[in-house]
Amino acid sequence: METVRNIIPFSDWKSARDTLRKWREERKRKSADVLNLGSVLLSDHGRKLGDEIWTVYEQVLIAALDCGELEQADEYLQVLERQFPKSRRVLKLQGMLLEASGSYDEALTLYDTALEENQNNAEFLKRKIAICKAKGQTTDAIKQLTTYLETYMSDYEAWMELADLYISQNQYSKAAFCLEELILSNPHHHLYHQRLAEISYTQKTTESLELAQQHFAQAIKLNPNNMRALYGHHLTCCALTKSKTRDSNTRYNDWTRSLIVQHYQQQAAVDKVELVQKSLEKISITK
């Protein structure tokens, strides 16, 4: 891996700090980059970070776990344990290190002990669900996640996670319910409409295809640059050719095709426009 000194000037520690801070605020993992950048920042400029150093330690530790650098993660964990010996956040990091090393039973024991003091601690409950997933216990993960959402209904990531688990079990109706809950809470999020449309499209009934068409269209309305929604809408129109609304599907299909071609034209991808047009023709509604 290319060293950080070849990416960011070694003396420019403020740029490194600001970059890591930006990634935290935007909730971007970028694990390899964080590990590469943060490890040098901590080792060579740690004293300049003030109290922010502990947040950076945590950020880089999680990146090390993602990258499988367990020894480095353990080194940072020991630093945090000395500074915050009774911290619940550090306790969670201990459990995550155990998980990464495959010691799931030890991690579960640690989380259960912590939950005895606070049985509704969201972080530890979610870590237990993650262990179920890692062990391939999808049914148990669904049960625990369902119970979790009874208390934390506003956890959007948990709803999306539950939807993915249902999809892995081919339970598309239940997955669709999860996306409907998300849309009720945030009707202007184009990705939620796109995801519900994709689930509905997979079911391939006339009713589900019509629902998919509606939500793909809404996703496009909210974000005209959502290419997955554009292609999804195009495919859905083609799949509905046998319905009584053939003429309207043809109009919708033409509309979507024009938006797709327009997107590539705006991106100055002239060499791709003709190829895209030919590809769309192959899956178009026969008039």
- Find the angle CA(262)-CA(245)-CA(215) to the nearest 5 degrees: 55
Neighbours of 180 (CB within 10 A): 15
CATH code assigned to 1-100:
1.25.40
Mean pLDDT of the 191-206 span: 94
Res. 280 pLDDT band, cuts 50 70 90: low
Interval 153-194: pLDDT, tens? 999 999 999 999 999 999 999 999 999 999 999 999 999 999
Interval 237-252: pLDDT, tens? 888 876 555 566 777 7
Mean pLDDT of the 133-150 span: 95
